[in-house]
Amino acid sequence: MLFIVSGLSGAVQAGQLEPVVVEGRRVNDLAPVHAGGQVATGGSLGLLGNVDLSDAPFSQTSYTSALIEDQQAATLGDVLDNMPSVRRSVPPNNIGEQFKIRGFALSDSQTAINGLYGLVSTYGGTPPLDIAERVEVLLGPSALLNGMAAVGGSINVVPKRAADEPLARVTVGRESASLAKAHANLGRRFGAGGEWGLRVNASRRDGGTPLAGVSRKDDVGALALDYRGERLRAALDVWRSTVRNRGGTPIIPGMDASLVAMPAAPDGAITVSDDDYDAHNTTALIGGEFDLTRDWTAFARFGRRHNDFAGRGQLVTNVKADGSAYLFPLSTRADNHARSAELGARGAFRTGSIRHVFALSGTRQQDETRQGFVYAPIGVTHIRHPPAARHPAPAAGDPPKTSRSRFDGVALADTLSLDDERVLLTLGARRQRVKVDNFGATLQGFTPVTSAYDQRAWTPMVGLVIKPLAPLSLYANHIQGLEAGTTVGRNYQNAGEVLPPYKTRQFEIGAKLDRGGFANTLSLFQITRPSTVSDRGTSPLPTLRLDGEQRNRGVEWAFFGALTRRVRVLGGISYTRGKLTRTQDGADNGNDAPGTAPLAANLGLEWDVPGVAGLTLTGRVIHTGAQYVDNANVLRMPSWSRFDLGARYATRVAGRALTLRASVHNLADRRYWEGVYMSSYVSPAAPRTVLVSATMDF
């Protein structure tokens, strides 16, 4: 990774500068894998670089490629199913992915690739896990660290690199009905000292999905070229992914306002219309770092992405108690271009007895979207036995420009080490500019700007880590999240007013205990997120004000590692109370926030069977408590539990390593509502899914 770790090691005399090295490894190296192999001992904290678990004033989990392979994960959601603080908001096999982290929404398009945001598209652009060495999840807002990221948490995908040992690995597999997969994973280093590295990943998934009558074909081709010299480290990542879906997508129905109880959940394999879509994504990312001195390193990264999407979809609304609903068929064309860049430096110096690790970064993220919709007449459907639905033909020609955005930021941070690094204090601030233009298209295709937004904001951060004992670290932080505000529309008294960027605020304290083989983390947090409400006391029109608020308070306990030589564990418990503290006219004040389950728990176990070398049995249970679907707290989604089982067998055939894997998700094939997409819109659980695969190293 192209980062500098926010830490120092090695003893020096007062007044001397120290090389930026941690525990004998170069600062651009990945954090080591923790006992059990499923989680790493640290990860990237954006501006601060790579930080060890015990040194981070935040709650973060970095999932390894070994976990991705052993769990046969195909999407981000498959990985995040291991985390109690994260829940899916939409079902698998959807056009995109969306989650709730600490009770707040995050879409896959808000995912970072090697620390750069904006390189993942909204339409079928989920980053392919074939390229992923790590999937890092940071809980809570992170404006200082990452800029305009989601407010409940952030996700970073770290691309694979060629390792010191050559790799030639082939995996073939099958998922449920007839969805077959083949994946080639190749890596090798070149040069007298292995300076150059090449990693190639190519895969195809093709066939019938767990959804009834639905087929898809996914192709991924990825290349990673890296160079690691004495003073220069650089890498180039290029990948292209295509998705071709035929026969339907999962339903995400909206409940009717007249309902007083949730209708029974449908079979997760049912689709309500014959949705088809094609998504093409091309992404390139280049970055490097150069050691200016023994103590200062400059770094730069630049990425581009193009997404082309065409598809037919549906909006299911007004679901009644008997399951009947309205259907809004539509066709979509979208074309999206994005660029993202970062330039900065990190270094170390001393002032008296205090050691500093300083970071300075400038970022720019640009995005332009062209999008067109064609709607068909409203129809009727049923969420349990839907009739055939007709879609309109897609619009001819290129779609019109609909939006253009630019996010510019400058950030700096200083981590002060005191008392022989037993106290770490991080202070930082970011100056962020948010510029968004929304366009209105006419029949002639002319696209004048119909609303413009251009605002700036400061956002600070304070983080503290105290290490009273060797395996124990205590931490606290105050950090903010930034979201673009809005330009008030013409239906309000203050039309044209530009509301400032929305600032979400977090206060968090926690503890981490890592004895090497087994680790625990405990955190308590409060997050407050603002929203707009209408002040009806003005005339002749109401005034839009930034006076609404949601407050989430929670406690999280996570654990991972090896309990014994044969037993590994990964899981945790999250208790979150989301409250609507300021709402429209106070009507819903004090109500539970929709889509925030008070209780969520995960427990995953792996057991190496004695007497059968290479055989491992796996199991996982995921539980989510009851949660409300609407602001008025009328509709309540029941609690649910999911059970997964699996096994893998590692052996050698003709001198080559072979691993056989099998797993079943939703073992009981239960039907239940799984998550809340947005107010009154919910997603059903996926049906029972069986996955088998064989991996051989050549």
Cβ-proximal residues to 383 (8 Å cutoff; 6+ apart), any chain: 251, 253, 263, 266, 270, 272, 316, 319, 323, 325
Task: Report how far residue 387's alpha carbon sits from residue 385's, in angstroms, rounded to the nearest whole number.
Answer: 7
Q: Is the pLDDT of residue 3 over 50?
A: no
185 sits in which H/E element: strand 179-190
Amino acid at the residue 121: S
Cβ-proximal residues to 192 (8 Å cutoff; 6+ apart), any chain: none
Task: Give mean pLDDT, residues 81-91.
Answer: 96
Contact yes or no for 140/479 (Cβ under 8 A):
yes
Task: Report how far residue 246's alpha carbon sits from residue 635's, in angstroms, rounded to the nearest whole number.
Answer: 33
Cβ-proximal residues to 267 (8 Å cutoff; 6+ apart), any chain: 384, 671, 684, 687
383-433 confidence digits (pLDDT tens) = 988 887 777 877 777 888 889 999 999 999 999 999 888 999 999 999 999
Task: Report how far residue 437's alpha carbon sits from residue 444's, in angstroms, rounded to the nearest whole number.
Answer: 20
pLDDT band, residue 489 (cuts 50/70/90): confident
Task: Report how far residue 532's alpha carbon sits from residue 513's, in angstroms, rounded to the nearest whole number.
Answer: 41
Task: Give mean pLDDT, residues 127-156.
Answer: 94
HSE on the CB side for 568, CA within 13 Å? 15
The lowest-confidence range among 29-38, 57-66, 379-388, 405-414 is 379-388
Q: Please give the full DSSP string across 556-621, using - where no structure is assigned.
A: EEEEEEESSSSEEEEEEEEEEEEEEEE-GGGTTTTPBPTT--SEEEEEEEEEE-TTSTTEEEEEEE
Q: Is the pLDDT of residue 57 over 90?
A: yes
Residue with tokens 């770094």: 299
Q: Which of 572, 576, 626, 574 is nearest to 600 (CA)?
A: 574
Domains of the chain, residue spans? 162-245, 270-275+293-418
292-333 confidence digits (pLDDT tens) = 999 999 999 999 999 999 998 888 999 999 999 999 888 889
78 sits in which H/E element: helix 76-80
Record the pTM.
Answer: 0.93
Residue with tokens 């090798």: 188
Q: What is the pLDDT of residue 12?
A: 32
Q: Average pLDDT over the chain, rounded to whole? A: 91
The lowest-confidence range among 483-497, 524-538, 622-636 is 483-497
Count, in order, helices (H) and strands (E) of the chain: 3, 36
Q: Which of 30, 3, 9, 55 is nearest to 477 (CA)?
A: 55
